[in-house]
């Protein structure tokens, strides 16, 4: 049985290129992991995702625990068999919902009690329960349960979240290491811990120090894309990422726009996830090197040109005018095609960054990208983990 591994193969400044190995295949890094919150990409089939080379899919513990339930998925062979996806998968622990469902939950040392959004019933997520659910789901990479505070939370709230996240990590690790007979146990599932600390450099350093007391396969930076600005996010990465070991993969959770990805790779991040490619696609926004195209604008109604001549996908066969028409006519195909395009664009962007790192020209790539990418709408508030 192939187990989890990470090999760092090239660096250029702080940017890195390597290979992530999992029981369901190897993925070159840096990589973008597409969000399939409830087990399915919005508007994109697994066959289409395979065709444009999507590497990793991400599912969510909270949502899949509510329906259809981890035991059901386990009986049906785990998330891979259940969804038909053949490549690597990662599951979030449900920790993000501690932030996003703040009005529907109560935090205690035991864990978080949610009044769920489906029928008002109660769901208790503790570190142990989150790991148990993720064992049943059977993803290749699983996440420790953490507390994610809002970006504008008072310092004392952020401090408490950092301390609790450390205690919950220790419990998550014990649960991960336990032999309980469930399929997909720790020999084939890699556990990542999560760095919290909000916008406070000293709390980020404390959280990293707590994390590094555990010998885990990978590390994640959480608590960003929760309302902070672009510059604040980059400042947090500047002080946090250099504290993480070079020989382990670094995962930035819930980020981001194409420019966010470029800036974060420049700071040493290896893995990303975000709902923007499919969410924005459904709302008529397509990403390109020049910035987002808002296809519903009148200027595209008679535009015979391709959506993006440099990114090949199923959306390449039709004109911007046709895509504009689909949205104006309320046809779901418009959102599907833009979602496919956006995921293909993100994959191509990551491939170009990997090539630039390996060729020793990443700084030039970043300089050019910063100069050409333009966006008149700030997307930070939309960068969330559930789609």
Distances 331 to 16, 311, 335 between C-alpha atoms, Å: 41, 23, 8
Residue 93's nearest CA partner among 49, 66, 132, 54 is 132
Q: Which of 273, 308, 379, 387 is catalytic?
A: 273
> CB neighbours (10 Å) of residue 299?
11
Query: Is 92 considered catalytic here?
Result: yes
Q: Are 272 and 265 in contact (CB under 8 A)?
A: no
Query: Which residue out of 92, 146, 260, 308 is catalytically annotated?
Result: 92
Q: What does the DSSP assignment read for 169-237?
A: HHHHHHHHH-----SS-TTT-EEEEEE--TT-HHHHHHHHHHHTTS--SEEEE-S-SSS--HHHHHHHH
The distance of Cα 107 from the centroid of its chain, to the nearest Å, equals: 24
Burial readout 363-379 (b: 16 or more C-beta within 10 A, e: otherwise): eebbeebeeebeeeeeb
Instruction: Give the DSSP H/E element, type plus range, for residue 387.
Output: none
- Are 146 and 165 a contacting pair, CB within 8 Å? yes
User: Is 310 part of the annotated catalytic residue set?
Assistant: no
**CA 386 – CA 59 distance, rounded (Å):** 9
Q: Are 269 and 221 in contact (CB under 8 A)?
A: yes
Tokens describing residue 291: 């910035």
Euclidean distance between CA atoms 76 and 312, whole angstroms:
35
Catalytic residues: 92, 273
């Amino acid at each position: 049985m192939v187990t989890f591994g990470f090999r760092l193969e090239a660096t250029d400044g702080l940017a890195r290129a390597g290979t992530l190995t999992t029981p369901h295949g190897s993925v070159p890094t840096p990589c973008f992991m597409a969000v399939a919150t409830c087990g399915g990409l919005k508007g994109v089939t697994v066959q289409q995702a395979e065709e444009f080379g999507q590497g990793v899919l991400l599912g969510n513990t909270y949502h899949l625990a509510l329906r259809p339930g981890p035991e059901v998925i386990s009986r049906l062979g785990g998330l891979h068999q259940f969804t038909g996806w053949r490549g690597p998968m990662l599951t979030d622990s449900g920790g993000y919902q501690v932030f996003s469902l703040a009005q529907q939950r109560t935090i205690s040392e035991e864990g978080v009690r949610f009044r769920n959004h489906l029928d008002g019933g109660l769901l208790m997520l503790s570190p142990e329960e989150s790991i148990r659910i993720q064992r049943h789901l059977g993803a290749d990479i699983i996440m420790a349960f953490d507390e994610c505070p809002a970006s504008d939370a008072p310092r004392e709230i952020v401090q408490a979240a950092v301390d609790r996240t450390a205690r919950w990590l220790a419990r998550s690790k014990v649960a991960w290491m336990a032999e309980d007979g469930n399929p997909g146990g720790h020999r084939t599932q890699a556990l990542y811990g999560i760095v919290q600390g909000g916008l406070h450099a000293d709390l980020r350093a404390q959280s990293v120090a707590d994390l590094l007391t555990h010998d885990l396969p990978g590390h994640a930076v959480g608590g960003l894309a929760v309302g902070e600005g672009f510059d604040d996010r980059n400042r947090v990465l500047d002080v946090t990422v250099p504290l993480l070991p070079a020989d382990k993969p670094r995962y930035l959770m819930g980020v981001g726009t194409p420019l966010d990805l470029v800036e974060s790779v420049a700071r040493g991040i290896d893995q990303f996830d975000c709902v923007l490619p499919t969410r924005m696609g459904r709302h008529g926004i397509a990403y390109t090197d020049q910035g987002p195209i808002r296809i519903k604008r009148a200027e595209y109604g008679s535009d015979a040109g391709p959506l993006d001549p440099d990114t090949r996908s199923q959306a390449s066969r039709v004109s911007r005018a046709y895509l504009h028409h689909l949205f104006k006519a309320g046809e779901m195909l418009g959102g599907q095609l833009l979602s496919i395009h956006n995921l293909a664009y993100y994959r191509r962007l990551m491939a170009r960054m990997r090539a630039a790192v390996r060729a020793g020209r990443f700084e030039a790539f970043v300089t050019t990208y910063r100069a050409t990418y333009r966006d008149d709408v700030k997307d930070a508030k939309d960068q969330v983990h559930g789609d």
